[in-house]
Structure 1
Amino acid sequence: MKPQDIISVKASLWIFGYGSLVWKPDFKYKRSKVGYVEGYKRRFWHGDNFHRGNDELPGRVVTLIEDDDASTWGVAFEVTGPQVEESLKYLNVRETECGGYITKMVDFFPDGESHSPVKALVYIATTQNPLYLGPASPEEIGAQIAVCRGKTGHNLEYLLRLAQFMRSSCPHVDDHHLYAIEAAALRVVSCLLKVQ
């Protein structure tokens, strides 16, 4: 489903963020809720040559990989009325044109609520994307993140802010992939500081 198709049928829309959107949505919204989507795992397998890297040194940012046994925690934002069109126009540039993500509708489960999930729009980078980098060890990913920078800032900031969000908003969730990469990146930074 394309974002423009959603505008014509939605007076209200939930948008699920699992990467930089959790701390920097940069669009107006009515309310937000922490929660999760099922059937996906978050992985630093997508390259970024704009926001957090460049053509010579692409950064690594997260995407969702299908996995029936997994769930991914993040934040869903409800946009209503004119916010729907405004947010989708903004995200089309940020996530699709500059990031290479596609959109899907998924079930979002708000934390601590027992009623039915809500449908939410999510941006996912697929293996068909030229920027897709695929799996690597936490050490390799951490080393890459430690040295990359793009127009939005350092790749390390992206990683640390995501880890901070998870610890403060989802302390009961052990995101092993995220925390292993954080530890590896901080080891690289520590070594670089010692050399200087």
Structure 2
Amino acid sequence: MKPQDVLAGKSSLWIFGYGSLVWKPDFKYKRSKVGYIGGYKRRFWHGDNFHRGNDERPGRVVTLIEDDDASTWGVAFEVSGAQAEESLKYLNVRETMCGGYLTKMVDFFPEGEEGAPVQALVYIATKDNPLFLGYATPEVIGFQIAMSQGKSGHNLEYLRRLAEFMRQRCPRVRDDHLFHIEAAALRVVAVLLAAQ
């Protein structure tokens, strides 16, 4: 599905963010809601050689992996009119620059709201992307994140801001994958600082 196809006949669109979009959408939107989607788990399995790493030391960012028993918390942004077109143009560059991404419409469940979910567009990095790195232990991922930096900043900042979002906005949700990697990355940083 092409992202622009989802706008056909609609006055507004919801876009679900589960990585850097939760703290830095960088596009105009009408409103936002914290909530979750089902059937996916968030994993640091995607490499990044631009924003949070480089060719020598690619960073790690999150993507979604299908899992019927899982859910992923994040933020959905409602965009309408010209906002929708502008945000899709922007996200097509930001999210799909390297190719290997899918866009899907998923059910988004806003926190604290009963009733039917809303349909939201989500970007998912797939195994077809040359930067898809796949599974590694939290220690390996944490080390990679602690040692990587790109044009948008240090990979550790990405990790810490995502963990901070989950603690502040979704305090009842356990994200062991995220928090184990954060702990591993911070141990690496502590060793590096102690060696100076």
Q: CA–CA distance in 2 between the matches of 1:99 and 1:160?
A: 26
Asked if 2 retains the 8 angstrom alpha-carbon contact of 1:103 and 1:122, the reply is yes
Q: Is the aligned partner of 1:67 residue 2:44?
A: no
Partner residue in 2 for 1:135: 135
Q: CA–CA distance in 2 between the matches of 1:51 and 1:6?
A: 27
Encode CA deviations 1:148-172: one digit per residue, 9 max, x unaligned. Answer: 0011000000000000000000000
Kindly report the root-mean-square deviation, in angstroms, between the aligned alpha carbons of the 2 structures.
Answer: 0.9
Q: CA–CA distance in 1 between the matches of 2:123 and 2:144?
A: 23
Displacement after TM superposition at 1:4 (Å)? 2.2
Partner residue in 2 for 1:35: 35
Pairwise mapping of residues 1-196 of structure 1 onto structure 2 (< 5 A)?
1-98=1-98, 100-196=100-196
Asked if 1 retains the 8 angstrom alpha-carbon contact of 2:52 and 2:60, the reply is yes
Give, as a single letter, the amino acid of the residue that structure 2 aligns with 1:16.
Answer: F
Asked if 1 retains the 8 angstrom alpha-carbon contact of 2:98 and 2:129, the reply is no
Give, as a single letter, the amino acid of the residue that structure 1 aligns with 2:193.
Answer: L
Displacement after TM superposition at 1:6 (Å)? 2.3
Asked if 2 retains the 8 angstrom alpha-carbon contact of 1:37 and 1:107, the reply is yes
Asked if 1 retains the 8 angstrom alpha-carbon contact of 2:44 and 2:61, the reply is yes
Q: CA–CA distance in 1 between the matches of 2:101 and 2:3?
A: 12
Give, as a single letter, the amino acid of the residue that structure 2 aligns with 1:156.
Answer: L
Asked if 1 retains the 8 angstrom alpha-carbon contact of 2:146 and 2:188, the reply is yes
Q: CA–CA distance in 2 between the matches of 1:98 and 1:127?
A: 12
Encode CA deviations 1:38-62: one digit per residue, 9 max, x unaligned. Answer: 0000000000011000111000000
Q: Per the alignment, do residues 38 and 123 of structure 1 end up closer, same or farther by CA in structure 2, a change over 3 Å counting?
A: same
Q: Secondary structure at the match of 2:150?
A: coil
Q: CA–CA distance in 1 between the matches of 2:82 and 2:143?
A: 42
Aligned length: 196
Identity fraction in percent? 79
Q: Per the alignment, do residues 87 and 53 of structure 1 end up closer, same or farther by CA in structure 2, a change over 3 Å counting?
A: same
Which structure 2 residue ranges, 5 or more long, are not aligned? none
